Amino acid sequence: MPEEAPTPVEIDERYRPRLRHCTFLTPEGEETTYMIVGREYFELSTEKDQLEIFLNVKRYFDGRHSVADIHRITGVDQADVLDTVRMFSDAGLFRSVRPLESIPSSVFVQQIEESCDMWGKQIGYHPLFTGLSTQRLRREVFVGMILEIYHYIKSASKHIGTAIAHCNDPAFAPFLAEYHSEEWNHSHYAVDTLVRLGMPKEQVLTAHPIIGTWSLINNLCEIARQDTLSYLACTNLFEAREQDAEGAAKDMRELTSAYGFPADATDPLIQHMELDVAAGHKSLLAEALGSRESIAAVDAHRVVNNLHDLKHSYDQFHDGIVQYYSEVSNYIPRLTVDYFSL
């Protein structure tokens, strides 16, 4: 069914603005802060006081506060709040709610792919990667990242298996079964890489994941348990993208050399990424919905929320790597704490 145009609204002191999903980013080494909405970037004031006032106003653009409420809570002049709201509205930055019962599958898949490309780029701006690229983070953080990637790769059979066990649509089961058969035993690529980086194999195999890694894995399993469509959509976020693979391989080899390891030490991990790209795992959602004309709007909303949570799980995963492996007193690899440790 065609989408209906949003009903025009009058923007006055009663209007309750709600932003589309946005992210704020200040690239390392830069003073400029950007607000990212979809694929659009908006440069914000570099003056600290003005930026703080804007951010304080923005946090009430949640659909629960009127312009009058925002003026009262923040103390910002109501005319200024109205000007900001109108400017955002003219730029198309507020949610546009339409009475949709269903969404064409092709439109849904395209939107998910575009959103995952956007979130994937945002994940790539994490301080973990910018810190490694400038060698601001110590060598152990680089090795620790590979170690946690090993745990993450090893978890594939766990979350794919959960998706199979809780599959709520029989038509999706064959795609999950094939996916499992192609992904269940890939952790040896990361093991080989860590051995090349100088870590004894027995220490790799007995290493204990950091909490951020556990949280990421458990979130994937929970999404797989709750909703098969959401899990299939999530593969668009966590599987390798063909357009990024060559650059990612180059960056990994450069990092490996910069931290004093042989340039080819991480080649097994790069090979794993190339295998994933060749297998086309990023297109699982498109394949699974290939024969369907549409999906229910309520299902689309659930998928988007799960994807958004997963994006933040990756941010916390990377936060945890920086935090744990930057601390000079922490054990690497992380040890299991058993009864005799008490």
In this predicted model, what pLDDT tens digit does every residue of 32-86 receive, in sequence order? 888 888 778 888 876 878 889 999 999 999 999 999 999 999 999 999 999 999 9
Answer left, alpha or beta for residue 43, where phi above 0 means left and psi between -120 and 50 means alpha: beta
Q: By CB neighbour count within 10 A (0-12 exposed, 13-18 middle, 19+ buried), where does 198 fall?
A: exposed
SS3 335: coil
Give the separation between CA 107 and CA 105, rounded to whole angstroms. 5
**In this predicted model, which residue has the larger pLDDT, 263 or 244?**
263
Domains of the chain with bracketed CATH: 1-99 (3.90.930.60), 102-341 (1.20.910.10)
Dig out the tokens for 340 from the structure: 């005799």
Task: Give the Cβ contact number of residue 146 at 10 Å.
Answer: 21
Contact residues for 85 (Cβ-Cβ < 8 A; gap 6+): 11, 15, 17, 61, 67
Give the separation between CA 327 and CA 329, rounded to whole angstroms. 6
In this prediction, residue 1 carries a pLDDT of: 37
Taking the whole predicted model, whether its pTM rises above 0.85 is answered as yes
Report yes or no: 114 and 39 within 8 Å, Cβ to Cβ.
yes
Q: What is the mean pLDDT of residues 222-244?
A: 90
